[in-house]
Structure 1
Amino acid sequence: MPIATDPLAQDSASYARCIEVSKRIRWDIDRDVIRGRHFDLASKFLPDGLSLAHELPFLTPAQRLFYGQVQGRTYANMFGMIERYIGVKMLEVGRSHGFGDQTAFEALVRLTDEELKHQELFRRIERLAAEAMPPGYRFALDGNDVAAFVLGKCSWAVLALTCHIELFSQAHYRASIEGAAGLSDLFKDVFLFHWKEESQHAILDELEWVREDATLTPAARDAAVGELIELVGGVDSLLQVQARADAAYFRDVTGIGADHREAVESNTLRAYRWQYIVSGVLEPRFQKALGALTNDAQMARMQAALGPLIAYVGDCGEPALH
């Protein structure tokens, strides 16, 4: 006869494991990550499986290298921006444990502290990228405005989006960045150390998402799915803005011909939709978590909303993470 298990005890053990790992892998920006280094523009930042640089056959090798570096700079800035809202949300979620499970409370306080450290890391990386790269780059998105938009949605939707982000960041590192040849050692180390802590954050995100789901009525959950769809649409709007800015910067620096300009912008948007939306949607762990918390009709709504984005990305799919 199987022994019954207490879900609350299981959750508390999961929070405790996250604390143990957080203590064991704790790293410092200067001592462990940057270590006095600077960016070398002879090296790639993002592998082609993320930047989709290989999808533009008219680029010279030097242009292809720079194209991936522009995207890599934005990749770091995007995570720095995203983690602003995540830190605020997890501080809010942690308060609900304040007079209850102190292990869960500590785990979420540690997560918030780590997200603040990540923000500082990515600010440092932007300054190093600005020193190395030609002038004219512009990160067109405002972190406070984005955080206000995201945090205006219900907790279920925000936690779902957060879990999606934490999971795709891990997938990108494990499947693409970690084993890629020719990448900047500094850029690779940034996302190695980021991945180490994000691995625990994804566990906590999912625990809190499930915990929030348990408080919802069927009608509230149905509304929450609608707000998650709105968040995905909002993310896509941001990607369109930054893709235009990055394509313009790339064109200005390289002087690429007018006949290729539309292709560069379209491919940049395709890469960003792949990086920040579709690769996470296709991540099996996210699909399993979302499927466990929604019914067939709600999943159909999600699929209908995501369909045009997946179609736009096209064939790059999971095998492109290399």
Structure 2
Amino acid sequence: MQAVQHETQTQRYATCIAVSKRIRWDIDRDVIRARRFDFAHKFLPDGLSQVDRLPFLDSAARTLMSQIQGRTYANMFRLCERFIGAKMLEVGGDHALGDQIALEAVVRFTDEELKHLELFRRVELLAAESMADGYRFLPDADDVARFVLGKSTWAILALTCHIEIFTQVHYRQSMEADEALSPLFKDVFLFHWKEESQHAIIDELELLREDARLDYAARDAAVDDLIALAGIDGMLQEQAQADAAYFRAQCDRAFTPTEREAIDGCMLDAYRWQYIVSGIEEPRFAKLLADLVDERQANPIGAALAPIMQRKLPDPMMALG
């Protein structure tokens, strides 16, 4: 049985390699193509920016909000790629003297993550070219990476899988028929998704492999680590506040206290949706995590997520999907 299971896993790694070779893309040749951002276009679709919650904004202001969020989107993924790449380098070492197909798959994964990091660095530079001074991305990528990499491998792989899976959600939303959406940013979503869809498969394989090593007590500790990683919400709150202030400073009108509160709330809810909720509610991730933990372990996960999900979760397992 173990031999059959190993063969099946090896086949999945091999499929990821084959797809990686087939869809391989280049930042300049395929994505940017010597283009600059046209600031008449939105960067993020309304489903991600949630700007449709603010009916008092005119078209120009709605576009500006999506551009600010798009710039933060690029910076947030630069941050994530930093610790994901570092962790996958470590994970690859486990296969160095073992399954060489798995090793190649993980090495390709790591190489592609480094390319994604460079892609989003380029997106930030392009956004900065025409956006007014005053934008700040507050989190320090190295500090965040050190914090994340200090947690257990199980927790980091679960977080990484969550990230790779919610990029699938973001891609689907970027495909909405919206002529106001930036063609360049749509290509960023498209090409990022192409490789991340394979990375999510490798994440699942590596998480299951790591989980098989753990006894119940070790998995308990790993769940605690995963909950600690939900502390990203504090980072999102700070960035949402900074971005909302930057947005208001760039608008050519004053806002009422009620409108200011709505802008602040929309920005935070959008970031929570983009970087936490869209992954947690995706059935694929929910099932994966629910299969790994029992109800007692799920309970504290649900308690940590409930304020972020902004809805009551009466059943602890509901926190997983």
Q: Structure 1-normalised TM-score?
A: 0.93
1:19: how far off?
0.5
SS at the partner of 1:286?
Answer: helix
Counterpart CA distance in 2 for 1:39 and 1:49 is: 20
1:318 matched residue in structure 2: none
1:130: how far off?
0.6
Aligned pairs, number: 310
* Alignment of 1:123 onto 2:133: no
Q: Is the 8 A contact 2:157 2:207 kept in 1?
A: yes
Aligned partner letter, 2:141:
G
Deviations 1:96-142 (A, max 9, x none): 00000000001101110000000111111111001122221111111
1:303: how far off?
1.4
Q: Is the 8 A contact 2:45 2:176 kept in 1?
A: no
Q: Which has the higher contact order (CA 8 A, sep 6+)?
A: 1
SS at the partner of 2:310?
Answer: helix
| Amino-acid identity (%) | 62
Q: Is the 8 A contact 1:44 1:184 kept in 2?
A: yes
1:281 matched residue in structure 2: 280
1:250 matched residue in structure 2: 247
Deviations 1:240-284 (A, max 9, x none): 111011111101111432522222112111111111111110000
Aligned partner letter, 1:215:
R
SS at the partner of 2:41?
Answer: coil
1:238 matched residue in structure 2: 235
Question: Which of 151, 175, 178 in structure 2 is aligned with 1:178?
Answer: 175
2:62 matched residue in structure 1: 64
2:289 matched residue in structure 1: 290
Q: Is the 8 A contact 1:76 1:122 kept in 2?
A: yes
Q: Structure 2-normalised TM-score?
A: 0.94
Q: How does 1:77-92 map to 2 (within 5 A)?
A: 77-92=75-90
Give ranges in structure 2 of 5+ residues lacking alignment: 314-321
1:108 matched residue in structure 2: 106
1:158 matched residue in structure 2: 156
Give ranges in structure 1 of 5+ residues lacking alignment: 315-322
Counterpart CA distance in 1 for 2:138 and 2:41 is: 25
